[in-house]
Amino acid sequence: MKSIVIVGTGDYAEMAYQYLKRDNYNKVIAFSVEKKFKTVNKFCDLPVVDFEEITNFFPAQTHELLIAIGPNKVNTVRERLYLEAKDLGYDFVTYISPRANIWDLRMVGENSFIFDGCVIEPGAKIGVNTVLWSGTVVAHHSTIGDHCFLAPSVAVSGKITIKNNCFIGINATIRDHVTIEEHCIIGCGAVIKKNTIKNGVYSTKGTDLLRVDSIETQI
């Protein structure tokens, strides 16, 4: 088994490390981040090396990577680092939680991360470098593209296409047979019932403050 280096030092990288550690991926030995974003020399008690120097410290022949960068700029930062690492010859960790319900493990692309409680039904496909956070459901015959990020408890109905580099916010719901075009942002709690447009940003109105007397308000 090759040793593992996690690229990233944000929340996603930390959670990925915790999940890998819990599930006995004991070969995580370091983190890496681009030099201009490096603020610490250790993260989760492991060393942090400059991504620009990663081949000098951890060559591709003996190490594999998990690119664990969040959905910055509709996932294009994670996409760029994934493609750069691939050009350097690295293999990638593909993590599927044993607490997830996945119909066909072969339908999950490399460097993707499937958290606890996710459901991927028959005929569904997950692209490369894509994140499904806890509790997300991808129903039958739906396709999630490359470099996507689905936040907790997203509900994707049947025969949906989510194209590359999309972000779907927590508790968003997408109706069956809908296409989400590339580089879309779907905000938390949004309900999408028809096709979107490329680069579209969709949101739902937040809840307004009604009162400031919660102690006296009857529930």
Task: Check whether residue 104 and residue 170 sit in a common domain.
Answer: yes
Please report whether residue 115 resides in a domain: yes
**Residue 152, Cβ density class (10 Å: 0-12 exposed, 13-18 middle, ≥19 buried):** middle
Task: Check whether residue 70 and residue 152 sit in a common domain.
Answer: no
Task: Check whether residue 98 and residue 180 sit in a common domain.
Answer: yes
Please report whether residue 213 resides in a domain: no
Please report whether residue 217 resides in a domain: no
Q: Would you give the distance in Å from CA 86 to the centre of its chain?
A: 18
pTM score, whole prediction: 0.95
DSSP 104-140: -GGGB-TT-EE-TT-EE-TT-EE-TT-EE-TT-EE-T
- We report the CATH number of the domain holding residue 114 as 2.160.10.10
Per the structure, the count of domains in the chain is 2
C-beta of residue 157 within 8 angstroms of C-beta of residue 142: yes
Per-residue pLDDT of the chain (219 residues; tens, 9 = 90+): 799 999 999 999 999 999 999 998 779 999 999 999 999 999 999 999 999 999 999 999 999 999 999 999 999 999 999 999 999 999 999 999 999 999 999 999 999 999 999 999 999 999 999 999 999 999 999 999 999 999 999 999 999 999 999 999 999 999 999 999 999 999 999 999 999 999 999 999 888 988 898 888 887
